[in-house]
Amino acid sequence: MNPIVIKGQKFFDSVTQEQFFIKGVAYQPRSDGREQELMDPLADVTACTRDAALMKQLGANVVRVYEVDPRNNHDACMKVFADNGLYLLLDVPTPNKSINRKSPLYDVEMYNSYKATVAAFAKYPHLLAFVAGNEVTNDKTNTPASPFVRAIIRDMKTFLAKNGGRAIPVGYASNDDQFIRDDIKDYFVCGDEDSQADFFGVNLYEWCGGSSFERSGYSERTKEFEGYGKPVFLSEYGCNLVRPREFSEVQAVYSDQMTSVWSGGVVYEWSQENNEYGLVKIRNAVAEPLDDFKNLKKVLTSAKPKGVKMDKYQPVAKTTKCPVTSEHWKASDKLPPTPNENACVCMMENLSCMASEAVHQSTTNSTIGGQLDMMCGLTSCDDIAADGANGFYGKYSGCTPEQKLSWLYNEYAKVQSSQTRACDFNGYAGVVTPKRSDLATCAALEPNFSGPSLMTDNQSYQFTGDSSLTKPSALLLASAALFWTVFA
């Protein structure tokens, strides 16, 4: 399968130069319906083999996956998807390593986790794109979270470039909120090109039952994205208020009404879960196609979008101004810095008072959170603060919560008359001997963009018969080493 590239507002096959339209399905089975047990669907070759063949029958060419574990080997599943003509659209964050929209931060643990995922999947030619965030800012109350997602986009693009990877698109998937839809679509493609989203996805559920292009609002959304300058597609669609779903919107999505602006879409979702959006019911390891599957198959296999050849397409250069601060939009165009593990380690090795084993052994975040709240009432938290509304980020704002807590303990203790007595906090802190004495230089250290080489020869890259790859054994080992460094 040929890598997909971007030119202007469209996707293209890099070899045939044919325009590429996404006919996708969201794929995140939750352990036979047990909602709380998220799994890595790309590590189960039996399930992949079962599902990929059905997806091919459905007429799909893309699967969107929301969570993977980069410690797993994904070669077998990726081979199965390639054999069935399916590209992968992969979300990089996971539920426990993602931006909290209510209290956003972007730290070294998250950064290293994202690098591990990118390193594990960048080698596959049929990796369509990475998604750096899904509905992180979802209404007017949490727009200051958006700068943190753009920082992830910037860092993942930089990581790919610095380690020899091909220019895999990195973008964002948004919901459709009436108060911020214009601001957020502009925000992700304004300013510094290096931090702009390479594409913009919209999770759109406004076409329900027997609606229409006009009544659903699809016509207005299409007008809003005319001349957007970057590819835009439906990163999720498929309202289920009327069931079984007839998917009458599919005809519009791949018709001339929309294909000049949109690059297709991803139907939500593959397996039947408690939210009842499934196309198939998985029971006893068998996938049973539901009426939704049969209805979607009829319209998706018959959809024949008309595209343009890449060499015939001449996009118009587009410059978008960042949205101004308003009642509904409060996101700074100044982004958080790359989380700097080198600076954080340097800082920790200069401290004489830091968090004790009691903090390390705590099984919940409440201990650290409570201690941080307390310390911010005793000393300044500017050096660890991150404010996406005002664009203010302290020099250690990207450190881990424990590292931030150690910094505050030390800051408080060093100005007290007796550091030994001050450095206790009911056993959560303790006096240590500093390993170095160059604290003033720590914040100026360069962040770590290192990782395994991501170079691949896409022309000769082949899967062998035993579902392993011919070239990436060293990459796999390096990726595993990187991930274990993060989570050990």
By annotation, the residues acting in catalysis are 135, 236
Tell me if residue 368 falls in helix, strand or coil. helix
First to last CA, the chain: 36
| Burial state string for 63-90 with b = 16 or more CB within 10 A and e = fewer than 16 | bbbbbbbbeebbbbbbbbbbebebbbbb
Give alpha helix (H) positions in 189-234: 218-224
Phi, psi of 356 (to 5 degrees): -95, 180
Helix (H) or strand (E) holding 51: helix 45-58
Q: Is the separation of the CB atoms in 413 and 353 below 8 Å?
A: yes
Residue 22 contacts residue 233 (beta carbons within 8 Å): yes
CA distance 199 to 265: 13
Tally of CA atoms within 13 A in the half-sphere of 344 that contains its CB: 23
* H or E segment and range at residue 103: none
Percent helix / strand / coil, the chain, rounded to 5: 35, 15, 50
What CA–CA distance (Å, rounded) separates 213 from 228?
20
Q: Are 4 and 12 in contact (CB under 8 A)?
A: yes
Residue 165, phi-psi category: left (phi > 0), alpha (psi -120 to 50), beta (remainder): beta
Beta strands in 156-199 (DSSP E): 170-174
Q: Which long-range contacts (CB under 8 A, 24 or more apart) does 302-305 make?
A: 303/23, 303/59, 303/250, 303/251, 303/253, 303/254, 304/254, 305/19, 305/21, 305/254, 305/255, 305/259, 305/264
Rg of the chain, C-alpha, whole Å: 24
What is the distance between the alpha carbons of residues 83 and 1, in angstroms, rounded to a whole number? 9
- What residues contact 337, with CB distance under 8 A and at least 6 apart? 151, 393, 397, 398, 447
